[in-house]
A and B are shown apart, each in its own frame.
Chain A
Amino acid sequence: MEYQVYQAADGAVEVIQTPVRFNIEVSEEFRIILKEFVDKGKYKIVVDLSQTEYMDSSGLGAIVSRISATRSHDGDIRIAAPKEFVKNLFDVTNLVEILKIFDTVEGAVDSFTAE
C-alpha cells in the first residue's frame, strides 16, 4: 500500500498521506480509498501531501475525485502541507480557489472539528 491512512479527531476525520511520487502509477489506489470512505459515510478527509515531491494530473484528479460527494454530505476533502511544486499545480488548475489548504495536518484536522 502506497498510502498511510489513519483517523484523527477521535475518528471524526480520515487522513491519507500520499507518497513521494503521486502519479498515475499510484493514483488509482488513492481513488479507491476515497471511494471506500464515501461508501462508508466518511466524508471528512484530509490529504496529507507533506511527503509528496511530485504530482501529475492523475494525482490531482484523484484528490478531487470525490469532492462533490463529500461536500454534499457536509464533509470535505482538505489539503495539508503541500510543497511548492504541488502548490504551483493548484494555482495552474485553480484548485487553490476550490480546496481549503492548510500548512499542517493538525490545522486541516482542526478545521473540521472547529466547525
Chain B
Amino acid sequence: MAKHIKGAENFHNLVPDYDRPVLKINEAGKHKLLEKLIALYGEETGHKYYPELERILKVYYAHKSDKMIVHEKEFEAEDRFTEEDVILITYGDLIISEHDRPLSVMADICKRYFEGVFNTLHILPFFPYSSDRGFAVMDFEEVDPNLGSWEDILELKKEFQLMFDGVFNHISSKSRWFQEFLNQNPEYRDFFTVFSTQGEISPEHLQLIVRPRTSDVISPFKTLTGEKLVWTTFSTDQIDLNYKNPKVLLKMIDILLTYIRRGADIIRLDAVTYLWEQLGTSCVHLEQTHLTIKLFRDVLDIVAPQVGLITETNVPHDENIRYFGNGDDEAQMVYNFALPPLVLHTFQNQNAQKLTEWAASIDKISDTATYFNFLDSHDGVGVMAVKNILSKKQIEDMALKVLEHGGYISYKKEGDGTLSPYELNTTWFSAINRDDEDEPLELQIQRYVASRSIALAFMGVPGVYLHGLLGSKNDAEAVLMEKSRRSINRRNLLEEEILTELENQKSATFRIAFGLIILIQIRKMERAFHPNSPQKVLPLSEDLFCLLRATPDSKEIILAITNVTNHSRKLDVDKQYIGTTIHTWRDLVSNTTYTSDNGSISLALEPYQVIWLKGINR
C-alpha cells in the first residue's frame, strides 16, 4: 500500500530533470489519450494536438523525484482510499489571526488538533480570485497572497494529504486570460464561448439550458472589436472556458498536473457538470464532459496514478453516479449528494425509512472507486440529488424547516422557467437543531453527533466541513452583510476564539468536536469501515438507521445503529439479518459488551444514541 508518507516532502522537484530518461507512454496509454482527443475534436484535430498533450505529460514527469517514481511502483489503486481516509474541508482563511498568514494558522491548528484524526485536508480554492469566495479564479497557478504561499501549502503537505480544487469550468472576468480576450488577442479569442449577436441564441435554446442560477447565462462585454456576448453559467464574473477549443483543454491539463506537482493528492473537479456548452442541449453532463473527465483520468493513470479525481455534481443521484464511468475509467470518487438531504429528512422527521430504502440501493462501484460521504461543505445542502427520491412536498417541507431554523433556500431555474429548490443554505448544526427549542444542549449535541455518525459509517470516504466539526450555528447576519446566502456557513473564526473553545472541555464546541473525533478515531481502526468493505442495510425499524459493515473475509462485522428519534428504543436483531452467529459483541462507542446465546441480539438505545457493535467470527 502506498499512502501518503507522513513527513515526506512533496516528491516533486521544482525544476524538471532532463538528465533522466524522458517519459515513454506505452501504446495502450497513447491509444486511450488519442481516442479521447479524436472523440472530442475529430480525427484531424485530435492527431494534431496529441503531440502537445504528450509533451505536457513528459514535462510533468520530468518534475518527479526518483523517490516518487519508486513510491508509485508500490501503489495499489485498491488502497487509494482506506478506512483511514477522513477529509477535513476548509477555506484557507476560515481561521484567522492578527499574527500570521491564514494558511500558516490553519497548518498550526490542524497539526495541533486534527493530526491522527483527519489525514486529508481539502483547502477550498486558495488562488487569487475576484468573487464567489475563491471560485472566480484570476490565476490558476498562484496562491492568493492574502492566504499565504506555495511554501505554506507544502508545510501542510508534510502532515496531510491534500485535496485541491480544479475550478476548471470557468475563470474570473478579471483574469489575464479574459482580459486578453477583451483585448482580442488571437490566442485567447476562442478561450470562451462567445456570440456576436443575440440572434445566434434562440429563446428555445435558452429554455433548454439547465443551470443552478437564475441570472442570465449570456453576458455582454465590451471588447476591442465591439460588444460580445459571453457564456456565464454562474455569474458575470465567472466566464465559462470553451473546451471546444483544444488549446483550452490542454492548458487545463497542464494546470491539473501543476497542482499535482504542488502537492495535490486529490483533485476536486468543481461544477464539472457544466464543462461543455452545446446549444440545443441542456448543457449539463454532456457526453463530451464525461469524455473530458475520462481524459483527465487517463492522464493521471499514466503519469500520476496515485492521484484521485472527485467530481462535484449536484444533480439527481442517477446522473451523479454516472461520473464514476464504468467504475475504472472516470472519477475515483463522487460527492454523495443524496446523503445530506436524506439524513436531514431523517432527523427532521425522526424517521429513517427513506434513508434506509435509498441506502439499500447503494452498491459498491468498483475496487478503485467510492463515494465521498459529506453532510456539509462550503455550499449548502444540495437537494437536486433527491429530486427522484423524495417527493416534491417532502423536499419543500425540508426546505421550510431549514428556514424555520434560521437558514435560507436557493433556487434554480428549470427548463420551463419555473423555480425549484437547489440547495438549503445552513450550517449542519442549525439544520439539525433549533436554536429556540426548549431542550437541553446535551440532547442537541447527541442529535448532531448521531446525524454525523451515519456518514462516518456509510460505504465510502467521509468528509467533514470545519464548521461542521465545530458545530457552528447559522451566521444569518453575514447573509445580509455580504448579500450572499452561502455566507451563512462561511464565517471566518478567530484563532484565539477557537483555541479557547477547543481547550474548554465544557464548551459546546469541544463536546461536539470531541464527540465526532472519537467516532472518527474508531472508524480509522476498523477494516470493516474500509470505503469498499461490504455494506448491508437492515430495515429493522423506522426509528433506527442500521448498517452492517464487514471485512471482505467476513471475519469482522460491525453493526452500526443510530437512533434517529428523541425517544429510547428497544431493538432485537435476529441472527438472520446478521447472517452469521456471533456470541459476543462489543460496542466500540461505549465499550459495552453484549452477549448472545442464539446469535440474536437485544439492544436498548437512548435518544439519538449511536452504537457500533463489533463482532468477530471465530
Q: Which residues on A are within 8 Å of B, measured CB to CB?
A: 28, 31, 56-58, 60-61, 64-69, 71-72, 89, 92-95, 97-98
Decide if B404 touches A31 in the complex (CB within 8 Å).
no
Known: A72-B397, A93-B479. A67 touches B419 (CB 8 A): no
Main secondary structure of the interface of B (DSSP, over half): helix
The listed residue (A31, A92, A95, A97) touching B436 by CB distance below 8 A is A31
Known: A57-B476, A57-B480, A60-B476. A94 touches B408 (CB 8 A): yes
Decide if B406 touches A61 in the complex (CB within 8 Å).
yes
Known: A31-B436, A61-B476, A65-B436. A94 touches B404 (CB 8 A): no
Bound: A75/B409 CA distance, A: 20
The listed residue (B397, B404, B477) touching A64 by CB distance below 8 A is B404
Q: Which of B472-486 contact A (CB under 8 A)?
A: 476-477, 479-480, 483, 485
Chain B residues near A61 (CB, 8 Å)?
Answer: 406, 476
Decide if B397 touches A68 in the complex (CB within 8 Å).
yes
Can you pick out 23 interface pairs between chain A and chain B where the beta carbons lie within 8 Å of each other? A28-B436, A31-B436, A56-B477, A58-B476, A60-B476, A67-B400, A68-B404, A69-B404, A71-B400, A72-B397, A89-B480, A92-B480, A92-B485, A93-B408, A93-B479, A93-B480, A94-B409, A94-B410, A94-B411, A95-B408, A97-B411, A98-B400, A98-B403
Bound: A98/B396 CA distance, A: 10
Q: Which of B253-301 contact A (CB under 8 A)?
A: none
Interface size class of B (residues with CB under 8 A): 10 to 19
Judged by a CB distance under 8 angstroms, whether B491 is at the interface is no
Chain B residues near A92 (CB, 8 Å)?
Answer: 479-480, 483, 485
Chain A residues near B244 (CB, 8 Å)?
Answer: none
Bound: A32/B401 CA distance, A: 17
Decide if B479 touches A57 in the complex (CB within 8 Å).
yes
Decide if A57 touches B477 in the complex (CB within 8 Å).
yes
What's the nearest-Cβ distance from chain B to residue A85, in Å?
Answer: 11
Decide if A65 touches B480 in the complex (CB within 8 Å).
no
Decide if B403 touches A97 in the complex (CB within 8 Å).
no
Decide if B403 touches A64 in the complex (CB within 8 Å).
yes
Q: Which of B187-204 contact A (CB under 8 A)?
A: none
What's the nearest-Cβ distance from chain B to residue A66, in Å?
Answer: 7
Bound: A65/B408 CA distance, A: 12
The listed residue (B404, B406, B409, B410) touching A66 by CB distance below 8 A is B404
Bound: A28/B438 CA distance, A: 13
Chain A residues near B409 (CB, 8 Å)?
Answer: 94, 97-98
Bound: A107/B135 CA distance, A: 43
Q: Which of B380-417 contact A (CB under 8 A)?
A: 397, 400-401, 403-404, 406, 408-411
What's the nearest-Cβ distance from chain B to residue A82, in Å?
Answer: 15
Chain B residues near A72 (CB, 8 Å)?
Answer: 397
Chain B residues near A58 (CB, 8 Å)?
Answer: 476
Bound: A65/B400 CA distance, A: 9
Chain A residues near B406 (CB, 8 Å)?
Answer: 57, 61
Q: Which of B548-571 contact A (CB under 8 A)?
A: none
Chain B residues near A98 (CB, 8 Å)?
Answer: 400, 403, 409
Decide if A65 touches B404 in the complex (CB within 8 Å).
yes
Q: Digitize B470-503: 1 where CB-to-A-CB distance is under 8 Å, 0 elsewhere.
A: 0000001101100101000000000000000000
Most chain B beta-carbon contacts within 10 A, residue among A66, A71, A89, A92: A92
Bound: A73/B126 CA distance, A: 47
Known pairs A57-B479, A65-B436, A93-B479; list 14 more (Cβ under 8 Å). Answer: A60-B476, A61-B406, A64-B403, A66-B404, A68-B401, A68-B403, A72-B397, A89-B480, A92-B480, A92-B483, A93-B408, A94-B409, A97-B411, A97-B419
Bound: A106/B404 CA distance, A: 26
Chain B residues near A31 (CB, 8 Å)?
Answer: 436
Bound: A94/B401 CA distance, A: 15
Known: A31-B436, A94-B410, A97-B419. A67 touches B479 (CB 8 A): no
What's the nearest-Cβ distance from chain A to residue B422, in Å?
Answer: 10
- B482 closest partner in A (C-beta): A92
